[in-house]
Amino acid sequence: MEDTAEQLNISNSVTLPNLAYTSACRRSHVNYKYRKAFVTNSLRHLQQQVALAAKTEITPSKMTPQLVFVFCANGVNFKGICRTLLSSEPVFRDKCKEIEMLFQQYVPISLLGLTEGECEDFSGPEIAQPLLFTLQVALTSLLKHWGIKPVAAVGHSVGEVAAAHCGGFLSLEDAVKVIYHRSRLQAKVTGGRMLVVGNIPVQEVSEALGPYSGKVCIAAFNSPSSCTLSGDADSVSALQKELAQVFSKRDIFLHVLHVPAAYHSHMMDPIIKEMMEHLQYLEKQKPEIEVISTLTGKAASVDDFTTGRFWAQHARNPVAFTQAIVTSAKEKDNVVFVEIGPERALQRYIIETLGKETRVLSSLQTDKEYQTLLSLCHALVYLPPVDEMSKEVLV
């Protein structure tokens, strides 16, 4: 690094692309015990980082981080998503095409074309769920290709299908089958409303549901102080007003989700039988890592993901995300959570569950794809946080 710092100081002909190529591809690393990665957007910024790093004493980490991949659910923005990765990363692009071909055995759909076309509404399950699954599996494949591998996985609601596949519990063909029938059947159900409630202990929110029994239920236990309610539209609206009034002095957070149906509620009952029938026989696989199910909040067994009954209950019952996160962190040292999906949908819930010192890293943000992924890689080798940057240089 001293040589690189000196070269940056005295030479006016150095460019970022040339330096990146020379450092990564033309320099022998046999005689060096350590390598250093920088994320930068200019030679001046790189010069400052290299000079600082050259003066910093290297302290080897005593413990490798244990990664838990957390797969988000519906409700994210897909417009223009993964444009850069699709054009620049063959591993990502090829996996997307492979999954798209499997979906086309069931329905003629161009999933990746939707993100670049005129489609503005991605809320329908028949679009949102296959697209989210495709991006999550392709992103996980890319991370594994780069050597970033988890020891456990958790999936919030429909994210559990991708988690089950990436954990080795479901073949890709069976995972696509689950997503296809789940999304197709849920598209038949419309109406109802879902409401996220935050900053209030879930137990207190649960106690307020008494008068709405059979009409509104807790659809997801997100954290000790956040849950998602689901049920009849009028009842959810009335309850929203009631909660706003009762907890007006306690900074309550209330947000209506933009979804076409009340998932994880009694409104799913009409499709449960058919879902069980279509997903009754799925092939048992040999798991590669631990997967914590958000149906039970416990580690899944090899049989859990192979029955229609499981997936029917999974679509109908509440999401036990809080308990699943607690379980995923048990008996693990130096745990780092990595969100698999667009945006930071679950970061707050994980921190609220395990504490402010919990590390949760993002893997994908629209228009910042490489920046987000490189920041992830940066953090996992114990480098300091980075600012808004756009180019990478390996030194």
Beta bridge partners, 291, equal 153
* Per-residue model confidence as pLDDT tens digits over 131-176: 999 999 999 999 999 889 999 999 999 999 999 999 999 999 999 9
Q: Is 218 left (phi over 0), alpha (psi -120 to 50) or beta?
A: beta
Instruction: Tell me the C-alpha to C-alpha distance, in Å, between residue 319 and each of 73, 94, 179, 287, 327.
Output: 11, 32, 17, 22, 14
Q: What is the pLDDT of residue 385?
A: 32
Specify whether 122 is located in the same domain as 179. Answer: yes
Specify whether 51 is located in the same domain as 184. Answer: no
203 pLDDT more than 90: yes
Query: Whole-prediction pTM value?
Result: 0.86
Specify whether 360 is located in the same domain as 313. Answer: yes
Specify whether 333 is located in the same domain as 184. Answer: yes
Which among 153, 156, 158, 133 is positioned nearest to 315, based on CA atoms? 158
Specify whether 32 is located in the same domain as 122. Answer: no
Report the pLDDT averaged over residues 208-229. 97
Specify whether 306 is located in the same domain as 243. Answer: no
Q: Which residues contact 328 (CB under 8 A, 6 or more apart)?
A: 68, 152, 154, 290, 292, 335
* Per-residue model confidence as pLDDT tens digits over 45-99: 888 888 887 777 766 665 788 999 999 998 666 666 777 888 889 999 999 999 9
Specify whether 173 is located in the same domain as 86. Answer: yes
Specify whether 78 is located in the same domain as 177. Answer: yes
Domain harbouring 102, CATH code: 3.40.366.10
Specify whether 165 is located in the same domain as 282. Answer: yes
Compute the half-sphere exposure of residue 160: CA atoms within 13 Å on the CB side of its CA.
Answer: 27
- Domain of 109? 66-188+266-364
How far apart are the C-alpha atoms of 73 and 292, rounded to whole Å? 15
Higher pLDDT, 235 or 119: 235
Specify whether 380 is located in the same domain as 343. Answer: no
Specify whether 20 is located in the same domain as 141. Answer: no
Specify whether 123 is located in the same domain as 158. Answer: yes
Helices H / strands E in the chain, number of each: 16, 11
Number of domains forming the structure of the chain: 3
Edge-first strand order for the sheet with 216-223 is: 216-223, 226-231, 193-198, 253-256
Q: Is 4 exposed, middle or buried (0-12, 13-18, 19+ CB in 10 A)?
A: buried
Buried b / exposed e over 107-144, threshold 16 CB at 10 Å, is: eebebbebbeeeeeebebbbbbbbbbbbbbbbbbbbbe
Average pLDDT in the chain? 87
* Per-residue model confidence as pLDDT tens digits over 119-134: 666 778 898 899 999 9
Domain harbouring 252, CATH code: 3.30.70.250
For 275-327, give the DSSP string: HHHHTS-------SSEEE-TTTSSBPPTTGGG-HHHHHHHHHS-B-HHHHHHH
